[in-house]
Amino acid sequence: MQTPYYLIDRSKLAANMAKMDYLREASGAKCLLALKCFATWPVFGTMRGHMDGTTSSSLYELKLGREKFGKETHAYSVAWADHEIDEAITYADKIIFNSAGQLERFDEKTADIKRGLRLNPGFSTSGFDLADPSRRFSRLGEWDVNTLNHYADRISGVMIHYNCENDDFEKFSQQLERIEGEFGSFLAKLEWVSLGGGIHFTGEGYPLDKLAARLKEFSERFDVQVYLEPGEAAITGTASLEVTVLDLLENEKKLAIVDSSVEAHMLDLLIYRESATLESEGDHEYMICGKSCLAGDVFGERSFKEPLKIGDRLSIGDAAGYTLVKKNWFNGVKMPSIVIRELDGSLTLCREFGYDEFESSHG
């Protein structure tokens, strides 16, 4: 197939879903796919039987979750607009408000649906200020326990999102203990508590048994249904960005230009100043560069066993989470197709993007 394309592997996705099943069964927690991280619905069929529904960050994500995934839908938004709320409640099983002000504003319209508030515990595991939901002046959620108690009779639960690619179970448990200590009397008034996403429980060697026991303990202590909102954990290690070398240059370092763009196709690498996941072995070093005009459009530096040649194919890993949802038309660089590697190893082209999509996105 012509590159560039995102390649999603159903067998790797199924392996993550097996861990999802184990955690759900052992803990009693329900797992909702976080569409803000991954919304590529052609593979929802592989996930639907192993997850309990979806959680969203906007009206469009909410509608996609209802139509393409089904099952339970949680509707969250940092701020709902007047023209969105009537439609949102037709798709949602639960609607979660970011602030008490939004709950007050839409109190009457949402009185017949289960409602929640976002609880900001005042800390997180994020190592990046840009992504830290508890950063100074954060707008994400209510943090005052008196405010939360005031609205306890109008809501049935809360969403607490404070983990970010956290693969440290002990840190997770310690922070949950802090939440129990600071907000326990309030949590005991609720029917459900979502602990959000960012728990890297499908990672290699993660102690699933300990996590399951801790979630069950929390659920029983406060008599609540626990929800998790895995995004990255659902699809970690399942996709790559397949590219081709278009040109080779040398400017103090050997440079290889590929038919893709970090700015357009793996934006998080630039945002968080990280290098792409790419095998590196051998003595031939290259800087792998994107084809856009952005000077810093660089995937990273890697070594290869043999010198690269024009036409060589490269496979860049970790291309599922926060990647397909952020792809864009910068420079008019052809957007990668979406391809699925089926369980039998065959490839299915699900979607190809051409000039018509480029044109329609600009007017």
State the binding site for substrate: 232, 268
Peptide bond into 4 cis (omega under 30): yes
Q: Check: CB of residue 34 under 8 Å from CB of residue 230.
A: yes
Kindly tell me the burial class for residue 342, based on how many C-beta atoms sit within 10 Å of its own C-beta (0-12, 13-18, 19 or more): exposed
Rounded Cα–Cα distance for residues 297 and 58 (Å): 29
Owner of token pair 């890993």: 317
Please name the amino acid found at residue 173.
S
Which tokens belong to 117?
Answer: 């508030």
Rounded to 5°, angle at Cα 181 from 176 and 185: 110
Rounded-to-integer distance, Cα 206 and Cα 196, Å? 18
Residues at the binding site are 232, 268
What is the rounded CA–CA span in Å between residue 90 and residue 354? 34
Measured between alpha carbons, how far is 166 from 168 in angstroms, rounded to an integer? 6
Distance CA(195)–CA(173), nearest Å, equals: 12
52: closest CA among 225, 288, 299, 176?
225
Please check whether residue 359 is in contact with residue 76, taking contact to mean a CB–CB distance below 8 angstroms: no
- What is the gyration radius of the CA atoms in the chain, in angstroms? 22
Burial class (CB in 10 A: 0-12, 13-18, 19+), 132: middle
